[in-house]
Structure formats: C-alpha cells, structure tokens
Structure 1
Amino acid sequence: MNKEVIIIGGGIIGLCSAYYLHKEGHKVSIIDQSNLDAGASYVNAGFLSPSHFLPLAAPGVMKQGIKWMFNKSSPLYIKPRLDADFLKWTLAFNKSCTAKHVNKSIPIIRDITLLSQELYRSLKEDENFQFQYEKKGLLMLCQSEKMLEEEIKVADLARQIGLEASEISLEDLKQLQPNVSFNIMGATYFKCDSHMTPQEFMTDMKTYLKGSGVEFFTNEKVTDIELEKGNITSIKTNRKNYQADEFVLAAGSWSALLGKKLSLQLLLQAGKGYRMNTNQDTGISIPAILSEAKVAVTPMNGFTRFAGTMEIAGINHDINAARVDAIANAVTNYYPGILLNQEEKDNVQAGLRPVSPDGLPYIGRSKKCLNLTIATGHAMMGWGMGSATGKLVSEVISNKETSLNLAPFNPDRTF
C-alpha cells in the first residue's frame, strides 16, 4: 500500500530514504531547518569505506579521549560539561568500549558499508547521475613503527573478514603515487574502498527528487510533534502543520532533541568535523588517512579535500583555529610538498555528525512510536552508510523483508 511519508532531515540519510521510498511508490516530502546546502553531508571526506569496520567505541578509546581532553587540537576532543544527556552518553560510550563489542560490531559494519557501496554504484548507473564515484582504495599512512604495526593488524583482520587489504612497500607506494612526496615510515592499502565528491551527489539527488515529485520544505524547523495512541498525528514547524501516514527521523545531530518530544531516549552527541579544500596540484590520486593525525585526504573532482577531528562539544558550528591548524600542519607533515595557505584555512567549514554511544547507527522503529522510522547516529560513517540506510528505511515503511538484520541498529537498545 502506498503511503504519504514525511522525512525530517534533508542530509544524505534523508535524501537516500526519499529516493528509495519514491521508488516504492510512496508520496514523499522532506522538511529541513536549513537551505540544504551545508552541513556534514557536504563537508565530509566522501569515503565509502568497508575498511572502517571497527566501531568508534573500542578498547582504549575512552582512556585516550581523557588524555586528549586537555588538548583542543587533538584528533578526538571531548569537552567535559555538566549536562545530563552528555553524562548518560559518556557512561554508555565507556561501557561499549570492549573487545566483545568490537568483535560483535565488525561484521555488522562491514555488511552495511558493502551494501551501501554497491547501492551508490547502482544508483549512478540506474539514474545516469554524473557524480564522481571511483574505486581506487584507501591508504593508511603511518609515521611511527607502533602505528604501522597497529594498521598491519587491522589489515590482517580485514582480510579475515573478506576485504582486500595488505601492507604496501614504500617502493610500491611510489609507483601508485609517483607525483607525491611522502614523509612516512610505511603504509597499508585497502583496495576495497571507494570515494565520491559529496556536493555532486547531493546536487544530483536533489535534482532527481524534485523532478520526481518529492516536495522540499526548507528553512522550516520542527517545533512540536503530536502523538496519539502511539502514532504521530501531525508535526508542527515554524510555518505550518503537516500530516502523513509515516514519518522518518533523519535529523542528524538534532534527532535526539526531536526524539524527546516523543519520549524517545536516543543517546546522541554531536561530533564536529572540519574540512579544508585546496585547488593546488597536490598529485594525490588515491584517498588516504594520516594515521597518527586522524586526517582524511580525498582527491575529489577538481580539488583535494582534507578532513578531520571529532569534537564532541554540543551542538555548535564554532570554528576552533587550533584544530584547523592541526589539520593543516598534519598535511604538510605527511606530504612535505603541500602547504595549505591562509585563505584555504580561512575557508574551512565544519559539520556535525550524530554519534551514538556504541558506534552503530539507530535504524528502524521504536516501540514508543509506531509510525516513525528512525535513521540517525552514524557518526563518521553517515556517508559510507547513507544509501544502505535509505534502502532499509524504505523496506521498513513498505513492510518488506529488510536487506540486513536490523536488530543491531534497534533504536530502543540499551547500553
């Protein structure tokens, strides 16, 4: 049965949900508080990364996070604050940082990222979209012996779960990237990864959806949600009221705030990330991560992007100059031939990523609201899991068997 569906949130998750819902014959509308031209879906690294199969919540992360808490330029910065939601999230995150949780999460993350990668590829072919999609793999560049040993272990584990990965010699690296000068000790290479230019995909998708009859209501903020007998009857924005059969909550870092209006206890924190672009001829043709600095490097269509940091400090878009400098300095440290100028640093942008305590997204229905499907909490993997999440949302609302088991993503799960 075709339904009328309202999606709250027009980022990558919202647009992909709209696409697959439309393909199922549903009438779809998207409401977003922005103009749909900025945010995490536009400033991310564009990675489609099965290689990122380890959850953010892992042994040692909390301990390292505490050490970095006093360094505002560190790759992971958790700002301490007396806030009940933050404290609950912190306790749940710490509880999730176990080897048992990591082992359980690895096949889950692998499967959703592989599905998403394939769906992006199919989407481009099926709709004749023009967005950049290249499968050139991902390099993990290491400056220390200790980090290289850790990355080799991850590559070994990747092969055990069916992903193509290995250590790569500096000689072979030079063959792959002949026009780049490196300051590293060694590297690993994940041939299983792909990358995109996010802005291009978002533009293609918005154009397609608008041409297919999907309605967009931009610069509208949801102010209230009416619930009756476990079902949403209407949502109210700063402009008008809306009714529908089904609703999708894909509002990123704002999802928990809206969830409270439905008595949902979605533990989420906003994780701020930064990006800088350069039009310099960097010679970089293969995406990379600067392992010690946790900086992502992406050769996008016409420019190179450097992105990094996870700053958990509440919902804000403030730019921390120290963190910007840390990314720029890391780039020159690993690539001695590249120096980002002041204009490029001044043009930095930030985006907020919704981070769940266990590193797994929330996808599916909550028992507290029967006609709401939740799709948020993807942290740094929102882009890499975007198309698969949209497909799963569509399958839930269409009452179809889902492509993946949704139990690990249950929005009602406890920590």
Structure 2
Amino acid sequence: MGSNKNILVIGGGIVGLSTAYFLQKEGHRVTVLDKSDITSGASFVNAGYITPSHIIPLASPGMISKGIKYMFDSSSPFYIKPRLDMEFMKWSWYFKKSSTKSKVEKAMPVIMDINLLSRELFEDIKASGDLGDFHLERKGLLMMYQTDKERNHEMEVAKRAGDLGLEVSHLDANGLQKLEPNIELNALGAFHYECDRHTTPTQFMERMLGFLPKNGVAINKNEEVLDIVVNGDRVAEVKTSKGTYQPDEVVFAAGSWTSHLSKKLNIKLPLQAGKGYRINVADTTNISMPAILMEAKMAVTPMNGFTRFAGTMEFSGINNIIRKERVEAIAKGAEQFYKGLKISNEDKENAKCGLRPVTPDGLPYIGKSMEYKNLIFATGHAMMGWSLGPATGKLVSEIISGKTMSMEITSFAPERKF
C-alpha cells in the first residue's frame, strides 16, 4: 500500500477529527470538511462518557412498545414525533426486527470490545501529550435508581457486564451517599461501573481542533458538499460550496447527515437523527460523580468548570428545534434525585441540542462501501459517539493504510441486511 494518500474526511465531529488524527499519524494528507463552524452539535453537547458499561444496544426488546407509549408525549425521555415518512417507517421496521434477544446478545460483546478499544485510545492520546493535559477521569459511572423496578432491570445488565469481565459493584443508599458526600441524594442505591471514564467534550474538541492544523491537517469549516461525481466503482470528485476535491479516499463521518450524503450516491443508509439536549450549570452543584438517573432517563456529568445535565432521545428528523418541555423534563429529573438542586431559568434558556446518528440495530456503520472502493463509512454510533470516536478513527485509519485491524469489524458493515 502506498502510505501517503490524499484523504477527504467529511464531518468534523469527534469521529471525523479522530479519523484525521490517526490518519495523519500514518503519514497521510488529510482534509476535514464541515458545513458548520465546528462549535456545536452532538460532539459538543454530549455527556462526555467513555462507557464500556453501555453494552445493551438501543434496539433492545421492549424499546418499541416504550416508544409507542411515549410517542404522543413530547416531554417523555424517548419521543418519536408521529410522521408519515417512508424512510423513518422503514428504519422503524428494521429497528423492530433488530430488537430480539438473540441479536442483542450477539451485539453486547462487540459493543464492549469497541468501547474498551476506545477507552484505551483516549488514555493513549492523553499519554502522548498531543492535546496537552485534557480532562479524563476514572471515577466510573453510577446507575442511580429510585425504584425496585429499575434496580432489578439494571441488576440484569450489571450481571451481564460482570460476566463479560467489566468491573461493577452495587451500592445501597448509604454506600452511595458516602461516594457522593456533598449533596443529599434521593435514591435507593446505584450500580457503580468502575470501568467507565468521563471527559469534558468541549475541551477535547477544542484541543483536537488546535492540534490537527499544526500537524498538517486542513480543516475547512462552513463548507458544504453539493455533489459527488463517481467514475466506475470509485468516487472521483467531491464538489463543495467552495471548491472541488479529487481525493484518493473519502470518509463519510458526517453523523446524522451521512444518510443525505449517501443519497447523492444512491446508497440508502438506514439512519435516523436522535436528538439529545444538555443544560450546563456553572454554579457549584457539589456533584462529583458521573451518574445516569434511571427513572429520569438522563445523565449527569461533572465537567471542567460546570456540571452537565443531558438526556432524551427524540426522533423528529434533522432539525435543531429546542422543545422547552424536554429541557424542563431534564431539569425536573435532576432536581428529583439531588435534594436542594435548583436549575435556574437562565441555565434552561441556554440549553443546546445535538443530533445522534442512530442505526436500526444500535451498532455503528464502520467500513468500506460495497459499491465504491474508495469510500469508507464512519457513523451511526447513536448514544456512544463520544465514547467510540477514537476507536472509529483508528479503525478507519487501519482500513485505509491496509493494516491489521485492532478488532473484527464485520458486525459494523455499512450495507448489512436488517
């Protein structure tokens, strides 16, 4: 393989930037394009978790009936906006087909493996000093519950995680309060996944955007792909709002927008945008542990300089509309678990959202296109995009450089059958 290729990465989120990071280490010439100014979106508003513990794909048994129950309540944690849209209906059908016990069983170890690979790569990037001393903490993640129903549900997951070799322990209300001593909790207990880590995404993204251009990667912002020209089984040209590229290899890492790009090549990629919201609280909350509040279906992360409250999965197409009732539900959920916590109206007003690319089976699309030899997909990470960014970037760089893969990626085949 000629090592020095000219590569165009479309998408400047965590996956696109991680891809550029590992490709430049291999000596390739890389250009990253993004239609935004790379200051917002899913890579900036996520909960910052690196989560080997999230072994259950979103498409798991019972999710569809939950979705239908929640469908008409726009403040519910899992909201599907009712709409007659063929693509969405097809995706929903595939999602239903993927939500079987046996498919979920098969997906678990694969999801765990790619998460562990990514956790190691986050540690490597930190150790390399490339991005300076960015925030990466090893406190684990608490799955906090207020009811026996959620405890019993999580106990099953914890048992499976333990069987797969992940470190997890159970805390009663007392033990939990000891671990989070500076704020009074309203919870029965928690499962503590010591295997997990957390970061401050905005900081990591800024550092990455600082490092890459200094190391030869061109980052072209506010540039949109208009047309893709093919020649036989290759992508020959990418035309944008600012110019034309003739790359050796093209990587589609545009998150929820990847299905739009694929359409330009007549590739139907089943992918739906799952909107998530976040509220940042700069005032001291006294929260020191990352936690998922199970009944409220939301995440809490102490980050550098603020505490982040994040959550919801809203399927309403590609848009950045902030639904106030959903922001309200996140604030309320947090206040129900942490006594005395008050999230101000100003913090709620400043809520932001991001779109996560969700595949029907909860496994990402990572790999070569079947149609075009020089096209690679890197998207579809659903709620684990942050966690899986570095692993995806590394795997893409191995595909392009013809190196031995860090892990088996057949399960991630972009044009797999559902």
Query: TM class by shorter-chain length?
Result: over 0.9
1:243 is displaced (CA, Å) by 1.0
Residue in structure 2 matched with residue 250 of structure 1 by the alignment: 253
Unmatched segments (≥5 aa) in structure 1: none
Residue in structure 2 matched with residue 360 of structure 1 by the alignment: 363
Q: Does 1:88 align with 2:90?
A: yes
Q: Does 1:281 align with 2:284?
A: yes
Tell me, yes or no, if the aligned pair for 2:367 and 2:377 is still in contact at 8 Å: yes
1:141 alignment partner AA? M
- Pairs within 5 Å for 1:102-181: 102-128=104-130, 129-181=132-184
Tell me, yes or no, if the aligned pair for 1:262 and 1:368 is still in contact at 8 Å: no
Quick one: distance in 1 between partners of 2:322 and 2:282? Answer: 22
Residue in structure 1 matched with residue 353 of structure 2 by the alignment: 350
Deviations 1:305-361 (A, max 9, x none): 000000010000000011000000001001122110100000000000100000000
Residue in structure 2 matched with residue 76 of structure 1 by the alignment: 78
Tell me, yes or no, if the aligned pair for 1:156 and 1:166 is still in contact at 8 Å: no
Q: Does 1:14 align with 2:16?
A: yes
* 2:222 equivalent among 181, 202, 219: 219
Write out the 4+ residue segments of structure 1 that deviate beyond 6 Å after TM superposition. Answer: none
Q: Does 1:45 align with 2:17?
A: no
1:280 is displaced (CA, Å) by 2.0
Tell me, yes or no, if the aligned pair for 2:15 and 2:253 is still in contact at 8 Å: yes
Quick one: distance in 1 between partners of 2:368 and 2:232? Answer: 15
Residue in structure 1 matched with residue 391 of structure 2 by the alignment: 388
SS of the aligned residue for 1:275 comes to strand
SS of the aligned residue for 1:148 comes to helix
Tell me, yes or no, if the aligned pair for 1:263 and 1:368 is still in contact at 8 Å: no
1:193 is displaced (CA, Å) by 0.4
Deviations 1:351-390 (A, max 9, x none): 0010000000000001111101100000110000110000
SS of the aligned residue for 2:373 comes to strand
Quick one: distance in 2 between partners of 1:206 and 1:54? Answer: 32
Deviations 1:233-274 (A, max 9, x none): 110111211111001000000000100111212100000000
Quick one: distance in 1 between partners of 2:206 and 2:72? Answer: 39
1:130 is displaced (CA, Å) by 2.3
Quick one: distance in 2 between partners of 1:381 and 1:56? Answer: 10
SS of the aligned residue for 2:386 comes to coil
- Pairs within 5 Å for 1:195-206: 195-206=198-209
* 1:60 equivalent among 47, 59, 62: 62
CA RMSD of aligned residues (A): 0.8
Deviations 1:30-70 (A, max 9, x none): 01000011110000000000010100000000011000001
Residue in structure 1 matched with residue 196 of structure 2 by the alignment: 193
Tell me, yes or no, if the aligned pair for 1:57 and 1:359 is still in contact at 8 Å: yes
Tell me, yes or no, if the aligned pair for 2:12 and 2:33 is still in contact at 8 Å: yes
Q: Does 1:336 align with 2:313?
A: no
TM norm structure 2: 0.98
Quick one: distance in 2 between partners of 1:301 and 1:405? Answer: 35
1:172 is displaced (CA, Å) by 1.5
1:71 alignment partner AA? D
1:216 is displaced (CA, Å) by 1.1
* 1:231 equivalent among 227, 231, 234: 234
Residue in structure 2 matched with residue 406 of structure 1 by the alignment: 409
Quick one: distance in 2 between partners of 1:374 and 1:261? Answer: 14
SS of the aligned residue for 2:8 comes to strand
Quick one: distance in 1 between partners of 2:246 and 2:33? Answer: 12
SS of the aligned residue for 1:383 comes to helix
Quick one: distance in 1 between partners of 2:236 and 2:110? Answer: 34
1:341 alignment partner AA? S
TM norm structure 1: 0.99
Aligned length: 415
Residue in structure 1 matched with residue 312 of structure 2 by the alignment: 309
Tell me, yes or no, if the aligned pair for 2:7 and 2:30 is still in contact at 8 Å: yes
Tell me, yes or no, if the aligned pair for 2:139 and 2:194 is still in contact at 8 Å: yes
1:127 is displaced (CA, Å) by 2.5
SS of the aligned residue for 1:108 comes to helix
